[in-house]
Amino acid sequence: MDDTKRYENLLDRYRDGNIDRRTFLGLLGVAGAAAGIVGGPMAGLTRAYAASVEQVRFDGWGGVVSEAFRKYAFGPYTEKTGIKVVDGTFGGADEYLARVKASQPGEFNLAHLSGVFDYARYHNLGLSSEINEANVPNLKNVIVSLQDVFRKVSGGKLSAVPYDYGTTGIAYNRKYISDDEAKAKGAKLLIDQAYKGKTAGWGEWKTRVWYGALQSDQDPNNIQDIDAVWDKVREHRDLAKKYWSSGAELMSLLAEEEIYVTEAWSGRVRALQDQGHDIGYMDPPGGLGWQECLFVMKGSPMAACEELLNFMLEPEVAIAVAEGQNYPPALDPTKVDVGEKVPTLPAFDPSGTLNGLSFFDPEYWNKNEADWSKKFSRVQKGY
């Protein structure tokens, strides 16, 4: 018997009074864990299944980002639905993926993943789900180009919804570095000998290679001389006080003036500026844009996850989270009024096209991941 027929028979038995609610939900939970929940004409069944779920797990980046999610999304969602959001955090994408790969199916549900690169990694490892878009009607307000890059990876379907975007540009302390100097030097400001010991960078191989490509005057998505890139990565390493590993650490290094210049996430810089720190920020030519998504893992309670996704895409919720974490929402500003603060955030694109940003080519970077991540690990240690 196919899954749809099985669910229909189960629902008919419940409606006819042949099984009580507890038995129905128990059988539905077992079936749902094995095969997921279908949508469309089974919308009533989907809602019943969502009601049977007591909690879902969500993992994110911590700091001001997770604080915004808790305050503006998870708390109100739990109040509305009764479903608890178990809120976890991670410091890096590779570390989190290792945890997911070592877990049991269903142990992890949703994650705030960064970029099409990670989406492709999870999909290629068989960790993706299939969202019933009929259960996420607010998806209609999301920038179409952000959805399309995911659909290309997963055969037209979605295992995630785009949620926000930003840039990894260059932050600098205006007390020591002027806007004119930063603009003139661009990505090469990070390898300026004048700031030895006062420079830092994200200890993540993709970012190090991307900026090494810019510093060696190459297209990061079409590198012709990888040795020249590694030379720049080493040059930066030798000047850097340290590699930071989290947004909280990045903000602390800049706020305490332990460093004067680093790559930085646009929203974290805005948070520092709002706190009164005179930190400049720029996206150099070829600077790195990214989008983040809310990814649903295979084996998750799909109806409850879809309900949470739709809730988080409610314009009032998505805008409140955006204002809290300082990253523009994935909502199309030509369809939704995004308020007064969002248009002032770094990286915001009023056109909703994001044509001015450069993104990782997922096929190119996934193809080189094994070699380049291993090489960076050696370079990081001094080789």
In tens, the pLDDT along 224-277 reads: 999 999 999 999 999 999 999 988 899 999 999 999 999 999 999 999 999 999
Integer CA distances (angstroms), 320 to 69, 84, 287, 340, 342, in order: 9, 20, 27, 11, 9
375 within domain boundaries: yes
Indicate the number of domains in the chain: 2
- 224 contacts: CB under 8 Å, gap ≥ 6: 218
Of residues 119 and 64, more confidence is placed in 119
Give CA–CA dist 205/347, Å, rounded: 23
In tens, the pLDDT along 254-266 reads: 999 999 999 999 9
Domain boundary among 10, 34, 52: 52
Give CA–CA dist 308/244, Å, rounded: 32
Give CA–CA dist 308/300, Å, rounded: 12
Q: List the beta bridge partners of residue 171.
A: 262, 281
DSSP 252-273: HHHHTTS-SEEEEEHHHHHHHH
CA within 13 Å, CB half, 315: 13
Residue 71 pLDDT greater than 70, yes or no: yes
What tokens appear for 250 in the block?
């990045």
In tens, the pLDDT along 29-66 reads: 444 443 343 333 334 444 444 456 789 999 998 887 88
What tokens appear for 350 in the block?
């009023």
Residue 39's domain comprises 1-52
220 within domain boundaries: yes
> What is the pLDDT averaged over residues 2-24?
53
> What is the pLDDT averaged over residues 319-345?
95
Give the pLDDT of residue 31.
43
17 within domain boundaries: yes
Reported pTM? 0.78
- 257 contacts: CB under 8 Å, gap ≥ 6: 173, 175
4 within domain boundaries: yes
306 within domain boundaries: no
Task: Note the helical H segments in the chain.
Answer: 3-15, 21-35, 43-52, 63-69, 75-81, 93-101, 115-124, 144-153, 179-185, 205-215, 226-239, 247-255, 266-274, 302-312, 315-325, 362-380
252 within domain boundaries: yes
259 within domain boundaries: yes
Find the CATH number of the domain harbouring 265: 3.40.190.10
DSSP 167-184: EEEEEEETTTS-HHHHHH
Integer CA distances (angstroms), 218 to 182, 187, 266, in order: 20, 12, 23
Domain boundary among 35, 52, 69: 52
